[in-house]
Structure 1
């Protein structure tokens, strides 16, 4: 005949901790460096901006990310005032990124929506305050 006993309550906090750790990895997944998205390539889309000086503006934007080593990348884009070189970083969530330029006062924050679409939003404060966003699609070379 089997006799059932109550579990030792001293082990319950340890068991709860183990279950919590397991759920974290299952729900969010622990990002690994081999899962870092590859951003190298040409990205195009419509940029929508606003500034007090220029008002609302829409224009086609093309950026070229020419190099990536792990989470760090660099590239350039051309606009009405010339070409801007930038460099950036992909955050450990493998979805968010930021890029900056030496000759810029603002920041470009972005999100990787899937392997071929990113959203990039620029914000700058001060006398030349500007905001803008573009959803950019990666140019896929045909075989």
Structure 2
């Protein structure tokens, strides 16, 4: 599993490096979108062992410096329904729409800023070498005003 995470990280970094020179997006025009703030919305979840569910999630982006950002994710962890917070770090690509971030629980988020206040996210978690069930989530979050 560690090898898979390393390969995924290398693939993402390679993709970022290859796309940079060809980007015609926001950074090339001067300004990246500011992601700092609270993003909330529904999450559709599937866990390998317990099946399908849905819940509200909250992502709080605390700091952004250029392409990079940090924050905290808040949600209810299944199956025991425990309120959970995880930190994350991320990167916004030059197109001003493509967003990748990883959380402290070994999960990866692949996101698109579909509007200035709407973030569509696909989340994948590999199961931490069978310490936890693999899972996938689909979220559409709205930036709170």
TM over 0.5: yes
Distance in 2, matches of 1:52 and 1:45, equals 23
Distance in 2, matches of 1:43 and 1:87, equals 15
Aligned counterparts, 1:12-51, within 5 A? 29-32=24-27, 34-51=30-47
* TM-fit CA distance, 1:35: 2.4
Instruction: Give RMSD over aligned pairs.
Output: 1.7
Q: Is 1:99 aligned to 2:95, yes or no?
A: no
Structure 2 length normalisation: TM-score?
0.71
- Answer whether contact 2:56 2:75 (CA < 8 A) is retained: no
- Answer whether contact 2:25 2:96 (CA < 8 A) is retained: no
Structure 1 length normalisation: TM-score?
0.72
Question: How many residue pairs are counted as aligned between the two chains?
Answer: 112
Q: Is 1:135 aligned to 2:136, yes or no?
A: no
> Which residue of the partner structure matches residue 76 of structure 1?
72
Unaligned runs of 5+ in 2: 1-22, 77-81
Unaligned runs of 5+ in 1: 1-27
Equivalent residue of 2:35, what SS? coil
Distance in 2, matches of 1:73 and 1:29, equals 21
Deviates more, 1:119-128 or 1:44-53: 119-128
Distance in 2, matches of 1:67 and 1:94, equals 17
In structure 2, the CA distance between the partners of 1:44 and 1:52, relative to structure 1 (3 Å rule), is: same
Structure 1 segments (4+ residues) deviating >4 Å: none
* TM-fit CA distance, 1:85: 0.6
